[in-house]
Structures are given as C-alpha cells and as structure tokens.
Structure 1
C-alpha cells in the first residue's frame, strides 16, 4: 500500500503536466473539430471521404514503419555486436552523439550531403564514368526523411538496449552452444526473451514519434502526398478557416490511432512477459 502511494506521488508531477498541457490541448482540438450543427461528426465524415487524407496517412505510416524497423535492426545489431565496448564512456559518447543534434539540423545536414547539388553529388560528378546521383531529398519515396530518422534514432535504440545486453547472463549462451544451439536459435532463446519486450517498446516510441513529427518531412518531403502533420499544418494555417476543423479532426484521429496502437502493443508485451516468466518458473 505504501509503495503504491509513493509511486503515485512520484508520478504526480508528470500526471499534472499531462493533464494541464496535453489534456487541455487534446480537449480543445476535439471540441474545435466537432460541427456546430445537428451532425456534430460532420467534419470527421468529410475528412474520411477525402483522398488527400488517406494518401497522407498511407505515406506517414510507410515512413514511420520503415524508419522505425530499419533503426531497430541497425541499433540491435550494433548493440549486440559492440555492447562490451560500450562499457567505457568514450564509446558511449561516440554512439549517442547524434542524439544531441536537433532533428531540424539533422535534416539540413541530409540536404547538404544528399541533395542533387550536395556534397556527394559533387564528388560523384567529379569522378570519371560516374552516373548521376539519385534523388534522395524531396523525393516521392521520402528516402531523405527515412535516412534522417535512421541516423537520428539508431543511437536511441542503442541507448535503450544497451542496459539489457549488459545485464544478460551470458553463461546461458555457453549452455546453449553446448546443447548444439547456434545462429538464430541461440539468439531467440538467449537474447530475445530479454531484448524482445524492450525492442517492442522502442518500436512503439519511435513509430508514434515519427508518425507525428513535423520538421523533417516539412523540410525533406514533397508537397503531395504530404505526411499527416505537414498536411494538418497547411490546413490549419495556410488554408481557409473552413479547413481548421478538418486539421483538428485529423490530429485527433492520429492521436486515437497512436493510443490504440500503444494499448495493443503494450498488452501484447505484458502478456508475452507473463508467459515467459511462467515458463521460467516452471522450468526452475
């Protein structure tokens, strides 16, 4: 009882901040997204009938999923390969340094290096028998946006997975090898029960963050299809007053989608943890 009350008191400042700022913002956005007439969900119905919204949602989910998946794969590989070197502060600083760079600055660095008039393009054109540099900035596949998020989020993946790998009892790996396990089987039985839940939580954090981020797609994306935050910004500030409720409705839908995904993924993670703990206790 005392432990629960203490935990609630420790979380009270965060909960108060969420209620005053995030909760108030969501309430105002939801109230402004409702129609004043008899059909108060008219703005949502109008939003769901627009092809622009569905194209924007599709490209947003695509960018968020690909960026998150590649960041997790690269970050997991770096962590499990170099976690012993990360015991020293010098290696940790080198791995986590990109997190100090703001996302807008990171996107501008991609422009300097990967744009058609950037550094790599100039080097490629100076070489004999070299072809043209591919379009990676302001391209319809959002490759520049994905590259930006990968090199920005891989250090975060390493930050989250490193404590897990440093706490694993690696004697289990020796036992597995002695029993003939190797390759993916060894990874699945020794590492994944520990790294899997954290990886799923990191996937959720990165996916929701990229899905709602504005600055990188605004600088490196295209005008159509624009990602959801960029489209909402255009409708809210650059369109007529009639588009503002649609912009608010779009962000409410995005928030609802993110909360629903969070609930489902966290429920699956907790269920997997309980199942694994029951299996460990029965084996013990």
Structure 2
C-alpha cells in the first residue's frame, strides 16, 4: 500500500514536466500523421490514402536507411554504456582521478552534438589533427569521416553519450554501493567479487535505462550523421530532413511518413527498455520464480 502511494506521489511530481511534453509531441505527431496520410496536404484537396507508406515500403533508400540507423544506434549505445559504466567504476574506486573524470563527464554533457560533431570531424578527417599527428596523408589515412563504417558518427555519439551514462550510473550507485562494498570486503570478498556482486547489480538498472534513452536519441538524431556520415545510404532522420527540404512539395508526405517511422522506432526502444526494467525489478523483489 505504501509503495502504491509513493508511486502515485512520484507520478504527481513529474506531471508538470510530462503534460507539456506529451502535448507538444502529440501535436507534432498528429500533424505528421495527417500530412503523411493525405488529410492535411500542402497542395490539392484532402484525401485519405496510404499510398505514401506503400511506396516507401518498396523503396530501397528506406530499407538501407533503416539498417544504417539501427546499426549506428546499436554500436553507439553499446560503446556508450561500456565506456560510461567503466568511467563510473573508476570514479567510485579512485579519488583524485575519479574527481577529474567526474568533472570531465559533467562538462561533456552540456556540449551540443553539433559542436561535438564538428570537433570529431576536425580530429578524424583525412586531413585532420589525428592524420597530421601521425604524419599520414589523405591517401593513406583511413576514411573515418564519411567512410563506409560510419566510424566518426559512432565515435561522436559514444563520446557524448558515455558521459550521460556515467552520470546516471553514478547517481544510482552513490547511495548504497560504498556501504555494500565495504561490507563485502569485510566478509572476505575480493575486488572481482565485489565488482560482480555489488557494483554491477546496482549499476545494471541505471545502465539499462540510460542505454535505452541513448538508443532512442541516436535513432532520431540527424545532425551528427548529416555532418559526418555518407551521402548514401542515409539514416532515417537525414532522409526525412532531405525529403522535407525538397523543392517538390509532394515530398513532404514522404518526409512525414519517414519521420513517423523514426518516431515509432524510438518509442519501441523506450517501451522495450521499460519492460526490461520492470522485469529486472520483479526478479530482484522475488515476484518472478
């Protein structure tokens, strides 16, 4: 009963932030749905149709964009979670170095992705800082920017989002991790056992939640892929933006349809993350056999 009341109070506390967010996103999604189905056309009379979705279903650019979006988001999320959890562990186990890492992570989060993408481009381009330090010319330096493996795009997302993951994990383990770690050490547990039995179980829910947020964000973000990625195939957000900015107004319906597909992917990622967190919480509380 008390747990239900605490959840109700928590829900009331987040309502002032949730209601405007849902209203804005709902209005934008509704307009995109109406435009993509022909009910709010820029030219011509309104007519309900699914022709845009049927056309996109057979479009190779959409299929390739979907593969690239999922691949970049998956690689970026895995690297961000691994690096972020590692940074959080270092912060908790070292003193002076941990403080510096904490400050570095906190300073990284406010940096816009657009500035981060420009910095990564200047660093990893074939005539950038790294190539000059290594003394390699454009012909001998690997194509990390706009290359076939999207290295620069994944590197930028992993760098930026790993700081976010580290801060989320640190906030989650800060309450009980040190006391439990000391208790395990007193009982004779070694460093590896304390890492496996204390730190990782406490960090896992926060890392899962942060990873789901990172995946959803990367799937829907376009500026980094637009600056550092290839011109083809295009991730779904870049494809949607290009179609939206096309001089042919008829392309607006396709742009809205692609944007809705991207939104559906992001929402699916968040729903799956919430289900994993609920299952993990049930297992820890003994509700599942």
TM-score (norm. length: structure 2): 0.84
**How much does 1:262 deviate?**
1.7
Report the counterpart of residue 253 of structure 2 in structure 1: 245
- C-alpha separation in 1, matches of 2:279 and 2:140: 51
> What is residue 133 of structure 1 aligned with on the other side?
141
The answer (yes or no) to whether the contact 1:121–1:132 under 8 Å persists in 2 is no
Residues 1:151 and 1:4: Cα distance change in structure 2 (over 3 Å): closer
Q: CA deviation at 1:123?
A: 2.4
Deviation at 1:187, TM superposition (A): 3.8
Q: Within the alignment, does 1:212 sit opposite 2:220 as a pair?
A: yes
Contact 2:66/2:235, CA 8 A, preserved across alignment: yes
**Could you tell me how far 1:156 is from its partner in structure 2?**
0.8
Corresponding residue SS for 1:100: coil
Displacement of 1:8 in angstroms is 4.6
Unaligned runs of 5+ in 2: 40-45
Q: Which SS does the other structure have where 2:141 is aligned?
A: coil
1:45 aligns with 2:72: no
Q: What secondary structure sits across from 1:139 in the alignment?
A: coil
Choose from 223, 230, 241 the match for 1:222: 230
By how many angstroms is 1:142 displaced?
A: 0.8
Would the alpha carbon gap of residues 10 and 82 (structure 1) be closer, same or farther in structure 2, given more than 3 Å must change? closer
Between 24-33 and 190-199, the greater mean CA deviation after superposition: 190-199
Report the counterpart of residue 234 of structure 1 in structure 2: 242
Partner residue of 1:101?
111
- When structure 1 is superposed on structure 2, of 54-63 and 30-39 the one drifting more is 30-39
Let me know the Cα RMSD of the aligned residues: 2.9
In structure 2, the partner of 1:67 is 76
Kept in 1, the 8 Å contact 2:125–2:145? The answer is: yes
The whole-number CA distance in structure 1 between the counterparts of 2:197 and 2:5 is 37
Q: Does structure 2 retain, via aligned residues, the 8 Å contact 1:177–1:186? A: no
* Offset, 1:150: 1.5
**Structure 1 residue 260 and structure 2 residue 263: aligned?**
no
- Cα deviations across residues 110-152 of structure 1 (Å, max 9, x unaligned)? 121211111221222279xxx9221111112111111111111
Whole-Å separation in 1 of the counterparts to 2:172 and 2:9: 26
Distance of 1:263 and 1:67 partners within structure 2? 19
Alignment check: 8 A CA contact 1:144 1:220 kept: yes
Partners of 1:151 and 1:78 lie apart in 2 by 12
Matched residues in 1 for 2:51 and 2:149: separation? 33
Q: Which runs of 5+ in 1 are unaligned?
A: none
